[in-house]
Amino acid sequence: YAFVRALTPDDLESIAAFAYLQMLRAGFAAVGEFHYLHHAPDGTRYTDPGEMSHRIAGAAAETGIGLTLLPVRYEQGGCDGRPLAAAQRRFGGDEAGYGRVLDSAARAIAALPGDARLGVAPHSMRAVPLAALREAADWLGSGPVHLHVAEQTAEIDEVLAHTGRRPVEWLLEHAGLDARWCCVHATHMTAEETEGLAASGAVAGLCPITEANLGDGIFPASRYIGAGGRFGVGSDSNVAISLAGELNLLEYSQRLNERNRAVIAVPGASVGRTLFEGAVQGAAVALARDAGGLAPGRLADLVALDGSAVEFVGQTGDGLLDAWLFASTANPVTDVWSAGRHVIVAGRHPNEARIEARFRRTLIRLTEAA
């Protein structure tokens, strides 16, 4: 919170651009930006309520990454409706204020290439009144809906005490979960919730590195994927940005939990193939992005690997994906295309020197101000 209080709009754009550069280098072609830093440090509104959304869009334009912008609605400090803490004032806003942010964010998206999308994000069951959460899919009329859910056990206890239902259980009963929804984390679910979420068509937005870093727990991937559940991967805390690392840890956490091997695999496909294809297909749904596979008419979200890397010697087919996700000690990504935009070329981004230099200046200023 101390760090967030110091951020200016220029800082946010600098940090977002560097994060997107890191994502592209790692092999991500698109980002779902769960964005809730809307206001000035004291909570006052900028002249343009969507100033910070425009800065996110500016970072996406500079890097060329595909953007699904998800402005967050954050109204209260808990299920009991208590006010936000002082440190959270930059996030807050009522229904009318959130509507103004969305209107401005729509203008920001309109200025980007045609693959950019706008969605909505009720932060969590604790941060948005339940009456509003029931209508979240109607806030924009279309587009994806993302929210944090069942990340930590304290959250489950609070929601259960307030509603008589566990978080995912309540959402399945009252929110009309379908393919427009992405439930971020969804770490702590019963078997019934896990199978219900899978059957709903919603996507589980998984952040295995973050969930391990925060000690949150292990997502029940074996049961969920076995029930046909969709998933995608990303980063929440940005402790490290690694496409291979997220998928690697997703599998290894299952092995540790179940004391078994090759847990996330289906007949006829290796673990690497199952992870990679599942992640890109689920992410395409969660970001409302016409990608997720190689086919005529789909967005050309592509990644190329260095075939001369030693870990690929002698590998073919699924073995190439397995080697990338489980055996690479260095990043083998050489080229990335986002909706056909060739944004990483021979391991480099055309704007990386400027983006990195600005980010360094931002870090120095923020560190000195701390």
Tell me the catalytic residues.
185, 236
Task: Kindly give, in sequence order, each residue whose CB lies less than 8 Å from that of residue 329, ignoring residues fewer than 6 positions away.
Answer: 311
**Closest-CA residue to 186 (of 228, 218, 226):** 218
Q: What are phi and psi of 318, to 5 degrees?
A: -60, -25
Q: Which two tokens stand for residue 353?
A: 């020197």
Bridge partners (DSSP) of residue 147 are: 183
Contact 8, 267 (CB under 8 A): no
Angle at 340 between CA 339 and CA 344, to 5 degrees: 100
Between 318-327 and 243-258, two packed helices, what is the crossing angle to 10 degrees? 90
What DSSP element (H or E) covers 249? helix 243-258
C-alpha 355/C-alpha 332 separation (Å) is 22
